[in-house]
Chains A and B, each alone.
Chain A
Amino acid sequence: MAQTSTTRRPASRGPAPDRQSVRSLLVKIVLLGIVDAISVYAAFALVLQDNWVVAIVVLAVTALVNWIYFSRRLIPAKYLTPGLIFLAVFQVFVLLYTGYVGFTNYGTGHNGTKQQAVSSLLASSLQRVEDSPTYPVTVVDRLGELGLLVTDPSTGEAYVGTGDEPLAAVPDAEFEGRKAVSAPGWTSLSFQDVIARTEEITALAVPYSDDPNDGALRTPDGSNAYRYLSTLEFDEQAGSMTNTQTGVVYSDIGTGAFVAEDGSELRPGWQITVGFDNFIRAFTEPSIRGPLVYVTIWTFVFAIASVFLCFALGLLLAITFQNARMRGVKYYRLLLVLPYAFPAFLSILVWKGMMNESFGFINQVIFGGADIPWLTDPSLAKVSAILVNVWLGFPYMFLICTGALQAIPEELTEAATMDGARGWGVFRQIKLPLLLSTTAPVLIASFAFNFNNFNLVYLLNNGGPRDTTTSLPVGHTDLLISMVYKVAFTGQNRDYGLASAFSILIFLIVAAIAVISFSRTKALEEIQR
């Protein structure tokens, strides 16, 4: 591919370039050549895995990239393409995929394809015939058809059979010890041959006799066979499973599993798209809707309170430190930035320890052995979460506000004072609007961050105390994001579909807030003009 790019050179190049542009052109060709070589390699690898769609996408993107960088125009595209590709791979794709999962029933019990579910059900329905012995076997081959050369362990006699023909005696088999190792007309397979034909051998079931109730012999390891009876039968035409022992028919009624008439399901099922089911469930099923509603409310309360308190505290401190009469400002500032300088993970875990009801520092030392349930009482746990978050977050706001205040010209204050404004008036009418217009983007970002502040909730209390009234494993301090995590990744019943639906909701909320706030910010910017 590197060569293909080189051949394009004359076509895409202008006449008589100076020396420097020749050199940069060479660099360009070499780099693009490397890129092309890698993507061709990737495409090859993908095609070998029958991954045609991805391979075509890779090649198409490479072609586009070549065109952009060899074109003499398209200057903006040259800047933007790398970023756009990253955006597509790491943001757009992830978003679309999450969106897609939100419309499926992907989760525990609906994990793979229907075909996989069928083969898994059939494999686990094999029951070893009671008290049947282990049969030493040799895998044999006749003109491409596989058979099992079986030695009956009780009589020592040899039998051979295939997938279609039941076992028949082979009087002239050759033995090695007490195990028949070859039979006339059949070629014995070596272990390597057995491994090479694993799939055929795994599928091979040799009927024990003409009576299907005697079961069939299968060899899981190529040297021993066991007699199995299958309790499930798959009817390919009807697409249904029948339990051969009870006669119950499980049919595919479009729910992603085989379901019997009485409603019992065979697990595993398979993955299907379910349309808006997950969203409908989120809003109609009381056991999900309840937690969803109060978790959403708490998430807003948490995010707004965190941003407001952090900002208020940060601003207050920043104003205090701006006062020329303050002494040793440097040292105070250093101290105040400490919470920001510590890794947040560490601080949160330390807080968690300090808030332990019986052994924590706060109760034991500060409150002299009181039993204040900082993290175990539903309401107090919420207060604690906000408290810790403010402790973590105010230094950042303090730094931002200090900077923003310094950027406000002193003349404005003087002019306002001349006009008769007092301290509070100056602050409220002059400084705060200016401050807000510069810090608004930070506040919005901070809101979005706290809206999804998983670390704090997860590390401090794991969302606890647990809400025992719902079937979802949520707690009283869970935010939407940690609720999504718990639905998708904890416990034995995962529901990726529902979790993805929740995360789409979160995305919509945060996106809507961001859009609204940014349009408000524009209004604030007007002030500065």
Chain B
Amino acid sequence: MKVTKKGALGLGAVVVASAFVLSGCQASGDGGDTPAKGGTLTVWVDAERVDALKGAADAYTEKTGVKVDLVSKDNATIKDDFIQQVPTGEGPDVVMGAHDWLGELTTNGVVAPLELGDSAGDYLDVAIQAATYEGTVYMLPYAVENIAVLRNADLVPEAASSFDDMIAKGKAAGLTQPFVVEQGAEGNPYHLYPFQTAFGAPVFGTDASGSYDPTDLQLGSEGGYEFANWLSGQGRNGTGVFNTDIDGAIAKQAFLDGTAAFWLTGPWNVGSAVDAGINVAIDPIPSPTADAAQPFAGVKGFFLSAESKNKVAATDFLVNYLGTEDVQLDLFKAGNLLPALSAAAETASSDPIIAGFSKVGADAVPMPAIPAMGSVWQYWGVAQAAIINGEDPKATWEKLVSDVQGAIG
């Protein structure tokens, strides 16, 4: 009889488990299905920003009776989960994300257009530009992020006027590798993009409405080849300023140790530099040419699910609550990224670090979200890494351009 008892115990566990397996996913996301009085909005939020949104969520519930259910999600999986869950009807009403997801999200048909109405004018231009995909706005922007040069002001007291000046100033301070930037075996085109734009070679041209045009590949323009030449000269067989063995961790360590005075990186690394006791100043990116070095801008925001049963409340919540200065400033405090709402951006810029990044951001261009960009990423970094490591710049760049062109079709 003892056997049966154990068996039954095991069985109990099994059925409980299978019941959860079979019904578990249903139970978790049913918020959107019940259009009962008031209703519930399910919002997937990046784990670090849940607290920042609590105030806005509570205020909205109080005002309208609509419950806002903030679900903390892992930043690494939130996009894939969203794409996979929306068609099943188990997705959220609103999801937090970044503008460069837009190509993928629209191709999969999981986001609904968002009408910002007259409030569109209250946001930074780059934010609205990034939130727009093929002429339609899909995202409520809340933050703008771009890279800039972090300078160790104790080592080099004044900003560099050009790229060569930066290296010269660093060498004068007695450093062998004064400038570091994150690369890797497969390169890191995101961090090299400002130098490429300085040579007048953006990835794509823009059409009349200001959207990127996948048929107008500017990578292969004359500037592209000039950039490749310059990169080669700064690589292994040249000055050695760029090195694909310097990854994020090595670059960071060099700056924190004071063996590098300039570090081209984003706001996410400022905290650790300040914590390490470094007197950090944020400089514009020194250009190797006479033109400005324009980095990519990444814009973060909220998307509305195409399958949301609560689109009216969700739109209202996004446009009229999350688009207010208070909420944007709360989000700013949680992430230290420049707010996308102009008024909030101004308030936040009282901090010199934020002001520094936002000054560089004024030149920034939104990272293309079009699916063709995926084909570019695939070959881009590898080609740049090869050039840095001494491959022939002209031939490598030619191959890059033809590979990308071939992949776009």
Contact = CB atoms under 8 A, between A and B. Distances in A.
Contacts of A194: 312
Contacts of A49: 26, 30, 33
Nearest to B134: A124
A220 B113 CA distance: 9
Given A127-B136, A492-B371, A121 B109 contact: yes
B80 A222 contact: no
Contacts of A332: none
Nearest to B19: A42
A168 interface: no
A117 B86 CA distance: 12
Contact of B117 (A197, A224, A267, A359): A224
Interface stretch (A154-162, A438-446, A466-474): A466-474
Interface stretch (A19-27, A173-181, A392-400, A521-529): A19-27
Interface stretch (A76-84, A144-152, A290-298, A406-414): A76-84
B337 to A, nearest CB: 23
A121 B185 CA distance: 40
B117 A466 contact: no
Interface in B73-118: 80, 83-84, 86-87, 103-104, 106-110, 112-115, 117-118
Contacts of A473: 378
A385 B152 CA distance: 39
A320 interface: no
Contacts of A121: 109
Interface stretch (A28-36, A205-213, A421-429): A28-36
B7 interface: yes
A38 B15 contact: yes
B11 A492 contact: no
B87 A192 contact: no
A86 B243 contact: no
A253 interface: no
A187 interface: no
Contacts of B19: 38-39, 41-42, 58
Interface in A456-505: 461, 464-466, 468, 471, 473, 489, 491-493
B8 A492 contact: no
Nearest to A90: B21
Interface string B213-232: 00000000000000000000
Contacts of B113: 123-124, 126
B107 A58 contact: no
B23 interface: yes
A357 to B, nearest CB: 5
Contact of B312 (A65, A221, A468): A221
B409 to A, nearest CB: 10
Interface string B284-315: 00000000000000000000001101111101
B69 interface: no
Question: Which among A89, A124, A196, A493 has the highest number of chain B CB atoms within 10 Å?
Answer: A124
Contacts of B312: 194-195, 198, 201-202, 219-222
Interface in B1-57: 1-5, 7-23, 26-27, 30, 33, 35-39
B186 interface: yes
Given A117-B109, A220-B312, A108 B104 contact: yes
B325 interface: no
A358 B243 contact: yes
A82 B13 contact: yes
Contacts of B38: 192, 195
B65 interface: yes
Most buried by B among A220, A226, A357: A220
B270 interface: no
B30 to A, nearest CB: 7
B251 to A, nearest CB: 11
A61 B246 CA distance: 57
B374 interface: yes
B144 interface: no
B334 interface: no
A111 B87 contact: yes
A268 interface: yes
A379 B316 CA distance: 58
A376 B15 CA distance: 50
A51 interface: yes
A112 B374 contact: no
Contacts of A82: 7, 10-11, 13-14
Interface in B193-217: none
Contacts of A42: 19-20, 22-23
A69 interface: yes
A111 B246 CA distance: 38
Contacts of A489: 80
Given A24-B4, A356-B245, A491 B377 contact: yes
Which secondary structure characterizes the binding site on chain B? Answer: helix
B379 interface: yes
A250 B8 CA distance: 58
A119 interface: yes
Contacts of B354: none
A52 to B, nearest CB: 12
Contacts of A417: none
A120 interface: yes
Given A120-B109, A195-B312, A489-B80, A112 B87 contact: yes
A223 interface: yes
Given A54-B22, A358-B243, A116 B8 contact: no
A89 B13 contact: no
Contacts of A34: 12
A196 B39 contact: yes
Given A124-B106, A191-B64, A89 B21 contact: yes
B44 to A, nearest CB: 17
Interface string B129-156: 0000011100000000000000000000
A492 B306 contact: no
A339 interface: no
A359 B245 contact: yes
A466 B371 CA distance: 21
A359 B7 contact: no
A303 interface: no
B320 A221 contact: yes
Contact of B378 (A109, A221, A357, A491): A491
B363 interface: no
Contacts of B316: 221-223
A81 B3 CA distance: 13
A123 B26 CA distance: 26
B104 A466 contact: no
A269 B247 CA distance: 39
Given A82-B14, A198-B313, A116 B371 contact: no
B407 interface: yes
Interface in A92-129: 108-109, 111-113, 116-117, 119-121, 123-124, 126-128
Contacts of A65: 11, 15
A46 B243 CA distance: 57
B135 A127 contact: yes
A455 B347 CA distance: 46
The 8 nearest A-B residue pairs measured at CB: A112-B87, A492-B374, A268-B109, A120-B109, A42-B19, A358-B245, A82-B10, A111-B108
14 contacts: A31-B5, A31-B8, A31-B11, A45-B26, A65-B11, A79-B7, A82-B10, A86-B14, A127-B136, A192-B64, A222-B316, A267-B106, A357-B245, A492-B373
Interface of A: 20-21, 24-25, 27-28, 31-32, 34-35, 38-39, 41-42, 45-46, 49, 51, 54, 57-58, 61-62, 65, 69, 75, 78-79, 81-82, 85-86, 89, 108-109, 111-113, 116-117, 119-121, 123-124, 126-128, 134, 191-192, 194-199, 201-202, 219-224, 226, 267-268, 356-359, 375-376, 461, 464-466, 468, 471, 473, 489, 491-493
Given A85-B18, A195-B310, A198-B35, 9 more contacts: A39-B19, A42-B23, A45-B26, A89-B17, A89-B21, A198-B312, A267-B107, A357-B245, A359-B246
